[in-house]
Amino acid sequence: MNLKMKALKKSLWVYHLSGGSCNNCDIEILDCLTPRYDIERFGMVLVGSPRHADVLLCTGIVNKKCVERIKEVYDQTAKPCVVVAIGACACSGGIFRDGYQMAGPLNKIIPVDIYIPGCPPKPEAMLAGIVKLLEKLK
């Protein structure tokens, strides 16, 4: 079990899940993959299917249309997996907390392990969040 957790920490595959975001956080997530930040040096890669994922990066308030989809994707993810709420909307609802579409925040729908606030959070903030995540995985 210990070896598996060590391997998991060295190779987190992330899946990008948008729950009705304004796309700003999504663009900042993609910034992490660019040469300036290059999260592949920590073994993280963006994968196309939740079956392959270890980390779900969720952005946006969860709107009413998205609730079923987000639950479905969470069930489809192979466990053990970690859920990260990225941005003010996913953490708390942000400026949309009183909106008629609001069904979240994310932790009402699925269990969340890490919150990274910011509107949008900088890539440095996401990397700091990932470091805390790695400490948590011990």
Partner 1 sequence: MTIAYIIACIVGSFFFLSVTGMLAMWVDRKVTARLQFRVGPPWYQNFADFVKLSGKEMLIPAKANIFVFAFAPVIAVLAATVAGTVILLVMRTGFSYPGDIILIVYLLTVPSLAVILGGSASGNVLAAVGISREIKLLLGYELPFVCALIVPALKSGSTTSLLEIIRYQQANGAVIGSLSGIIGFVIALFALQGKIGFVPFDLAEAEGEIASGAFVEYSGILLGLFKLTKAILLIVGPLFLVALYFGGISLNSPAGIVAGILKYLVILVLIILIKNTNPRLRIDQALRFFWGWLTLLGLAAILLALIGR
**Look-up of token digits 């910011």:** 118
Q: Positive or negative, the Cα torsion across 2, 78, 73, 54?
A: positive
**Residue nearer to partner 1 on the CB measure, 47 or 102:** 47
Q: Least distance in Å: CB of 57 to partner 1?
A: 15
Beta bridge partners of 37: none
Binding flag, residue 78, partner 1 (CB under 8 A): yes
Q: Which stretch binds partner 1 (CB under 8 A): 39-47, 57-65, 103-111, 119-127?
A: 39-47
Instruction: Please select the residue that binds partner 1; options are 79, 98, 100, 135, rule is CB under 8 A.
Output: 79
The burial of 88, by beta-carbon neighbours within 10 Å (0-12 exposed, 13-18 middle, 19 or more buried), is given as: buried
Binding residues among 80-99 for partner 1 as defined by CB under 8 A: 80
The amino acid sitting at 137 is L
Binding flag, residue 43, partner 1 (CB under 8 A): yes
